[in-house]
A = this chain, B = another copy of it.
């Protein structure tokens, strides 16, 4: 049996017409010789009665301190409703379908309510139905702990459910349907001529997701990568979409230096120097420990002997600064910053990439506040007002709009 997993997001399920399109896509899979396992998110967006955010609001209105355990029990209903209605739509179309809650499909998680991790998949129950020829529709985004509590997997959780099932079932392919037609070289709202990538590596998409691209959740990518399940990201409206593969498949052209440009707005830059009664000795250790103890995440860290620069989310910038001032440090805060990153496996070991980044941004009049680079990413912190210009400049500087690059 040639199994595939098809995952449909909430925006692909909001209206009867969209659900009809989902039925078509499932039927196409069946007609081309596959047995699909379907994973669904909750239907629609905030305001729709069965959307995740609606449930969250309902609970918070009554009690702002809703326990994470109860919140998960509540919002898990969104995907269950979705799964039953999609199974129903498939049956109405003559396909033998059934619905399973995440726990029933064998998604076992830790008890990290609200952001639980899948610790294993027990697919026997699901497989029994699959072997009897049924198309199982699984409620994504949720699982169950060993002790029977319902959990949810956090943002992007349905992707993770789909990837975990695809891996556990040894699926031939994981298809992620969304409202965009694949992974783009940059956010098309910022770069109108951004292009859909036809192929990219797991590492690249995971990195792009971490750096702000909203396509597939990094956890889902990691799972698929570890088990080597090929992933396709495409629009439920149609189109080829983007194939995500292992680099050794060498479908990705060697001469592609950069795969995409991503951005993360809403950051603040903190620059810390010793205060009057304080030396720089042990400063980095003290600062990062103090922030970690208060659950403040830091990013884009540059450590020097006499100063530290790093970013935090804009919302916690003042709190972070006051913590550090309380320890006797001098702190400069620059708000309204954004991180712009180029991601691509092709830049590894290739000289001159950073030079091109700096030159092109400088040429466009974008001030670089800070940079950081890892083996497949170069990130620049810029002022929010320069964000769009920076993304477009880098997109042009690395010729990402040129289709020819992928015609290998």
Contacts and interface: CB of A to CB of B under 8 A. Distances in A.
Interface of A: 16, 19, 49-50, 55, 58-59, 62-63, 65-67, 69-71, 73-74, 76-77, 80-81, 83-85, 87-89, 91-92, 98-99, 101, 103-104, 125, 147-150
Contacts of A73: 80, 83-84, 99, 101
Contacts of A98: 67, 69-70
22 contacts: A55-B81, A58-B81, A58-B85, A59-B84, A59-B88, A62-B88, A63-B91, A63-B92, A66-B88, A66-B91, A67-B98, A69-B98, A70-B84, A70-B88, A71-B84, A73-B83, A73-B101, A74-B80, A74-B85, A101-B150, A103-B148, A104-B148
Given A74-B81, A81-B74, A148-B125, A88 B63 contact: yes
5 smallest A-B Cβ distances: which pairs?
Answer: A77-B77, A49-B49, A63-B92, A74-B84, A63-B88
A233 B149 CA distance: 32
A67 B99 CA distance: 10
Contact of A77 (B65, B71, B81, B149): B81
Contacts of A65: 91-92
A71 B66 CA distance: 28
Contacts of A85: 58-59, 62, 74
Which of A85, A91, A104 counts the most B-chain CB atoms under 10 A from its CB?
A85
A66 B81 CA distance: 13
Nearest to A82: B74
A91 B63 CA distance: 7
Given A62-B85, A66-B88, A67-B91, 12 more contacts: A49-B50, A59-B85, A63-B88, A63-B89, A65-B92, A67-B98, A73-B80, A73-B83, A73-B99, A76-B80, A77-B80, A77-B81
A5 to B, nearest CB: 20
Given A49-B49, A74-B81, A77-B77, A62 B101 contact: no
Contacts of A147: 125
Nearest to A125: B148
